[in-house]
């Protein structure tokens, strides 16, 4: 017996199945993403504490935000953090991946060691680094004092330094992940191109600059976008390592959103802040895509 | 000869850099394991000793009694349930995008991928409102719901299922298999390697989630390990040895997954990469 796959009852069944299979994802995306997105916009125009009846206040939340020096401070800290972390994170991950790709023996071993940090949750990493960087008697300062004869550094107690310590923590946690992405991408680079370049007498640096990197452009763009989005949302380190201090020097925007929404229960204010951060992320991403497109 | 020397010389430098770098990266890991076995009096000893003396095994039961055991149970339960659900639905949705045509397919796919760009905190305030109104705050259900599907999972499974030949599916249809049966008995068995990879990624992601459980599951009964540990270390208690032991315990499940299933993880990076 032969069944005609193009027959109408057959295709109708298949189409029905497609819509049926889409139901779970539709339910999920509508309830967990689409509705909350619009609701967030709505809440940002309300004075609302999750319990009492909300009051419509127009642009009050936004106006208050622009007058709030702690909001600007949090924004500044978040950008400073992202500005420190993203370049160091991506460039060192890329360099390590390049180096690992050059060696045959031990590549697996060393990549595993570097990648293992990824299995540590941000909370665990923050707990560990908080204790490593204790000002008095912490292991880092003990080495600095006893081996290099330096003064103890206020890693988490000096408001000029704490943000850098928080940044070091973030870099350590995420480096292995990006290194692995780059390593996978580098190994996918067309070998024949590299061989051809070698025959033409190109040295290692020339090959990397003229063959490897151009081929990796899509990955580099993608990782840059992902890293910036990720770092702009830094939260756990502030919560665990410093509580935003000293003197609000490590208070990031998401931490400030958390405090506004879930400690002061000012949902409208927090929603307005969330929306502003989202718009910032959106603009940065679009600019990156544009720059990338014009370059090609 | 000269060339040989030069080549090996640069290899040597590469190895040297890699070794130094790996040492820096692995140091906090080793440090935390060795601190977790020190008595509190020797926590800040100098010179720092990698092998503790005396070995304080009691830190682990100590941390366990602080609450780690209970939090770990909650974490495992929530993580395993959401991994099962999200891996299954990601496979289903990935299958639809890979092998079916329907209206608004491309727009819907773009919307799904766009959620990867939307910061998590933007939806958390309305989500919190939702769980409060539906009385799901401080329940396992409320903690699991946001993690029952992921854009990354759908994308990964679509990539993988696209490779499965259409002829296989059509042959099953000719044999009279229903669409649900085709999915359950043909697509799922063929997708198991990718599903395993996705399950590991989902496990890691859900395990380390902090913001949502902090907001929606702060009651002792449902507290997960990240929230419990965060509360413990920020409570200004100086049980440093318990804090470190707790941190080590909290990473062990993922660390064990890592060591035994690294093959799948590496494949995930290859699969999700650039070729889409």
Query: pLDDT, tens digit, for every residue of A249-282?
Result: 899 999 999 999 999 899 999 999 999 999 999 9
The whole-angstrom separation of Cα A273 and Cα B119 is 12
Residue B42 has pLDDT above 80, yes or no: no
B194-234 pLDDT tens trace:
898 899 889 988 998 999 999 998 888 899 999 999 988 88
Q: B-contacting residues of A 152-171, CB under 8 Å?
A: none
Does the residue B155 lie in any domain?
yes
Question: Domain count of chain B?
Answer: 1
Share of chain A above pLDDT 70, in %: 97
Contact at CB, A219 and B274, closer than 8 angstroms: yes
Check if the beta carbon of residue B54 is closer than 8 Å to that of residue B39.
Answer: yes
Task: Please give, rounded to a whole number of angstroms, the shortest distance from the CA of B58 to a CA of chain A.
Answer: 19
A-B Cβ pairs (cutoff 8 Å, strict): 261
A6-39 pLDDT tens trace:
566 777 788 888 889 999 999 999 999 999 999 9
The whole-angstrom separation of Cα B103 and Cα B20 is 55
Q: B-contacting residues of A 181-240, CB under 8 Å?
A: 181, 183-185, 188, 204, 218-219, 222, 225, 229, 232-233, 235-236, 239-240
- Preferred mutation among A120, A174, A182, A269 to probe B, highest tally of B CBs within 10 A: A120
pLDDT band at B146 (very low <50, low <70, confident <90, very high): very high
A201-220 pLDDT tens trace:
777 788 888 888 888 888 88
Q: Give me the pLDDT at residue A5, please.
A: 56
Average pLDDT of every residue of chain A: 88
Q: Give me the pLDDT at residue A75, please.
A: 94
pLDDT band at B7 (very low <50, low <70, confident <90, very high): low
Angle at B140 between CA B135 and CA B144, to 5 degrees: 100
Share of chain B above pLDDT 70, in %: 94
Contact at CB, A37 and B118, closer than 8 angstroms: yes
> Which of A36, A204, A229 comes nearest B119 by C-beta?
A229
B61-99 pLDDT tens trace:
888 888 888 999 999 999 999 999 999 999 999 999 998
CB-based contacts of B7, cutoff 8 Å, min separation 6: none
Least confident range from A63-67, A149-153, B166-170: namely A149-153
Does the residue B264 lie in any domain?
yes
Does the residue B168 lie in any domain?
yes
Q: Give me the pLDDT at residue A4, please.
A: 56
pLDDT band at B275 (very low <50, low <70, confident <90, very high): very low
Contact at CB, B250 and A22, closer than 8 angstroms: no
Q: Give me the pLDDT at residue A1, please.
A: 43
Q: Give me the pLDDT at residue A24, please.
A: 94
Does the residue B52 lie in any domain?
no
Average pLDDT of every residue of chain B: 87
CB-based contacts of B29, cutoff 8 Å, min separation 6: A116, A117, A120
Return the HEC string of B161-183.
Answer: HHCCCHHHHHHHHHCCCCHHHHH
Nearest C-alpha neighbor of A224 from the set A182, A252, A164:
A182
Paired tokens of A51 = 């319990």
pLDDT band at A296 (very low <50, low <70, confident <90, very high): low
Contacts of A100 in chain B (CB under 8 A): 18
Give the mean pLDDT of A148-162.
85
pLDDT band at B6 (very low <50, low <70, confident <90, very high): low
pLDDT band at B3 (very low <50, low <70, confident <90, very high): low
Does the residue B225 lie in any domain?
yes
Contacts of A283 in chain B (CB under 8 A): none
Q: Give me the pLDDT at residue B244, please.
A: 87
Does the residue B8 lie in any domain?
no
Dihedral sign computed on CA atoms, order A91, A97, A102, A107: positive
CATH number of A60-295: 1.10.3720.10
Quick one: CA torsion of B253, B256, B262, B264, rounded to 10 degrees? Answer: -50
- Preferred mutation among B3, B12, B18 to probe A, highest tally of A CBs within 10 A: B18
Which chain B residue has its CA at the smallest distance from A259's CA? B215
Does the residue B1 lie in any domain?
no
Question: What is each CA distance from A124 to A164, A167, A202, A215, in whole angstroms?
Answer: 18, 15, 45, 36
Residue A134 has pLDDT above 60, yes or no: yes
Contacts of B204 in chain A (CB under 8 A): 118-119
Q: B-contacting residues of A 170-189, CB under 8 Å?
A: 172, 175-176, 180-181, 183-185, 188
pLDDT band at A243 (very low <50, low <70, confident <90, very high): confident
Residue A2 has pLDDT above 60, yes or no: no
Does the residue B38 lie in any domain?
no
Check if the beta carbon of residue B146 is closer than 8 Å to that of residue A32.
Answer: yes
The CATH code of the domain that includes B186 is: 1.10.3720.10
Residue A235 has pLDDT above 80, yes or no: yes
Residue A40 has pLDDT above 90, yes or no: yes
3-class secondary structure, A193: helix
Query: For residue B127, what are the domain limits?
Result: 58-272
Give the residue extent of every domain in chain A. 8-43, 60-295
Which chain A residue has its CA at the smallest distance from B239's CA? A131
Which chain A residue has its CA at the smallest distance from B212's CA? A258
Q: B-contacting residues of A 105-144, CB under 8 Å?
A: 106, 110, 112-114, 116-125, 127-132, 134, 136-139, 142-143
Quick one: CA torsion of A71, A76, A77, A82, rounded to 10 degrees? Answer: 130
Helix orientation angle between B188-207 and B151-162, rounded to the nearest 10 degrees: 160
Angle at A37 between CA A274 and CA A228, to 5 degrees: 50
Q: A-contacting residues of B 82-121, CB under 8 Å?
A: 89, 92-93, 95-96, 100-102, 108, 111-112, 115, 117-121
Chain A contact for B32 (CB, 8 A cutoff): yes
């Amino acid at each position: 017996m032969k069944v005609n796959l193009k027959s109408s009852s057959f295709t109708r069944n298949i189409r029905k199945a497609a819509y049926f299979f889409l139901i779970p994802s539709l339910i999920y995306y509508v309830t967990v993403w689409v509705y909350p997105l619009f609701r967030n916009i709505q809440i940002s125009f309300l004075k609302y504490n999750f319990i009492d009846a909300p009051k419509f206040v127009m642009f009050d939340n936004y106006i208050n935000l622009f007058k709030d020096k702690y909001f600007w401070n949090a924004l500044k800290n978040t950008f400073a953090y992202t500005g420190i972390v993203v370049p160091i994170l991506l460039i060192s991950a890329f360099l390590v991946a390049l180096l690992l790709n050059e060696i045959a023996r031990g590549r697996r071993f060393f990549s595993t060691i570097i990648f293992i940090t990824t299995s540590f949750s941000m909370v665990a990493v923050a707990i560990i680094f908080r204790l490593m960087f204790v000002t008095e008697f912490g292991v880092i300062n003990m080495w600095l004092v006893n081996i290099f004869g330096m003064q103890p550094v206020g890693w988490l107690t000096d408001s000029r330094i704490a943000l850098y310590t928080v940044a070091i923590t973030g870099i350590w946690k995420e480096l292995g992940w990006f290194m692995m992405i780059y390593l996978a991408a580098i190994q996918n680079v067309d070998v024949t191109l590299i061989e051809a370049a070698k025959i033409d007498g190109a040295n290692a640096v020339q090959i990397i600059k003229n063959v490897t990197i151009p081929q990796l452009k899509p990955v580099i763009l993608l990782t840059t976008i992902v890293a910036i989005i990720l770092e702009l949302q830094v939260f756990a380190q502030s919560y665990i390592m410093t509580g935003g201090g000293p003197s609000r020097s490590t208070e990031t925007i998401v931490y400030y959103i958390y405090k506004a929404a879930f400690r002061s229960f000012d949902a409208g204010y927090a929603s307005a802040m969330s929306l502003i951060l989202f718009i910032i992320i959106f603009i940065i991403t679009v600019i990156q895509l544009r720059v990338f497109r014009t370059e090609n | 000869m000269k060339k040989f020397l030069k080549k090996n010389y640069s290899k040597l430098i590469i190895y040297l850099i890699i070794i130094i770098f790996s040492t820096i990266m692995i140091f906090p890991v080793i440090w935390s394991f060795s601190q977790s076995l020190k008595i509190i009096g020797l926590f800040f000893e100098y010179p720092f000793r990698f092998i503790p003396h005396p070995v304080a095994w009691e830190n682990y039961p100590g941390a366990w009694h602080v609450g780690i055991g209970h939090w770990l149970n909650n974490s495992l339960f929530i993580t395993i349930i959401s991994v099962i659900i999200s891996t299954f639905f990601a496979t289903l949705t990935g299958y639809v995008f890979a092998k079916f045509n329907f209206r608004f397919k491309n727009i819907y796919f773009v919307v799904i991928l766009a959620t990867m760009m939307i910061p998590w905190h933007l939806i958390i305030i309305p989500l919190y409102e939702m769980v409060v109104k539906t009385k799901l705050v401080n329940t396992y259900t409320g903690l699991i719901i946001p993690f029952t599907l992921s854009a990354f999972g759908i994308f990964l499974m679509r990539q993988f299922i696209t490779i499965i030949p259409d002829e296989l599916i059509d042959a099953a249809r000719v044999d009279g298999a229903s669409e649900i049966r085709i999915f359950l008995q043909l697509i799922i068995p063929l997708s198991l390697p990718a599903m395993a990879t996705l399950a590991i990624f989902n496990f890691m992601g859900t395990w380390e989630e902090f913001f949502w459980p902090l907001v929606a599951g702060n009651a002792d009964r449902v507290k997960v390990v990240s929230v419990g540990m965060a509360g413990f270390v920020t409570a200004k208690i100086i049980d440093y040895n318990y804090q470190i032991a707790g941190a080590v315990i909290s990473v062990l499940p993922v660390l064990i997954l890592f060591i035994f299933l690294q093959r799948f993880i590496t494949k995930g990076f290859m699969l999700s990469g650039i070729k889409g």
